[in-house]
């Protein structure tokens, strides 16, 4: 088989390739491109590696500066599917805000990234998730996930 020329984002082609195999994921690490089949009990890529990849992929398909709320929701759903707990990934005041909100509103607790992105109240929580995703993207871009 001969090689082909590909135009556009390489991530798009890696995604197309990975979709052909169940459980195959790819991400960028400090050692370069990684592709592995990951079952439920094996090691998953770090949060920063996966979130950074998803963010850079979304940026390459849309306007490079801004992502739509739908883009953030798709990223959040994929992070929830990968099993990353929201409370462990939020930082500083946003983690405290989440804990405070969940204590005061036990019937409307926010436990997933999707819930946090879609939350109307507390409004700052969505900002905290977007900020955390941006930090993950910067780490991946700089090669330090």
In this prediction, residue 21 carries a pLDDT of 81
Residue position matching structure tokens 């998803």: 54
Q: Which helix (H) or strand (E) is 57 found in, with range? A: helix 47-61
Asked if residue 94 belongs to a domain, the reply is yes
Asked if residue 126 belongs to a domain, the reply is yes
Cα–Cα–Cα angle for 64, 137, 47, nearest 5°? Answer: 140
Q: Where in the sequence is the domain holding 102, given as residue range(s)?
A: 43-142
Asked if residue 84 belongs to a domain, the reply is yes
> For the chain, how many structural domains are there in total?
1
In this prediction, residue 44 carries a pLDDT of 43
List the pLDDT tens digit at each of the 145 positions of the chain.
687 787 777 777 887 888 888 777 777 766 678 887 765 544 445 888 889 888 888 887 666 678 888 889 999 999 998 888 998 898 889 999 999 999 999 998 999 999 999 988 888 899 999 999 998 888 877 765 4
Asked if residue 72 belongs to a domain, the reply is yes
Tokens of 39: 């079952």
64 - beta bridge partners?
none
Asked if residue 22 belongs to a domain, the reply is no
In this prediction, residue 23 carries a pLDDT of 76
For the entire predicted model, the pTM comes to: 0.66
Helices 69-82 and 123-142 cross at an angle (nearest 10°) of: 70
């Amino acid at each position: 088989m001969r090689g082909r020329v590909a135009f556009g984002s390489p991530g798009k082609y890696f995604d197309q390739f990975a979709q052909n195999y169940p459980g195959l994921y790819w991400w960028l690490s400090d050692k370069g491109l990684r592709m592995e089949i990951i079952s439920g009990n094996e090691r998953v890529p770090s949060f920063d590696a996966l979130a950074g990849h998803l963010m850079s992929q979304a940026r390459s398909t849309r306007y490079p500066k801004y992502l739509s709320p739908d883009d953030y929701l798709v990223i959040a759903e994929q992070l929830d599917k990968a099993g990353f707990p929201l409370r462990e990934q939020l930082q500083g005041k946003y983690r405290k805000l989440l804990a405070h909100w969940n204590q005061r509103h036990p019937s409307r607790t926010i436990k997933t990234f999707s819930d946090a992105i879609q939350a109307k109240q507390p409004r700052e929580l969505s900002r905290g998730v977007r900020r955390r995703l941006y930090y993950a993207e910067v780490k991946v871009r700089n090669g330090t996930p």
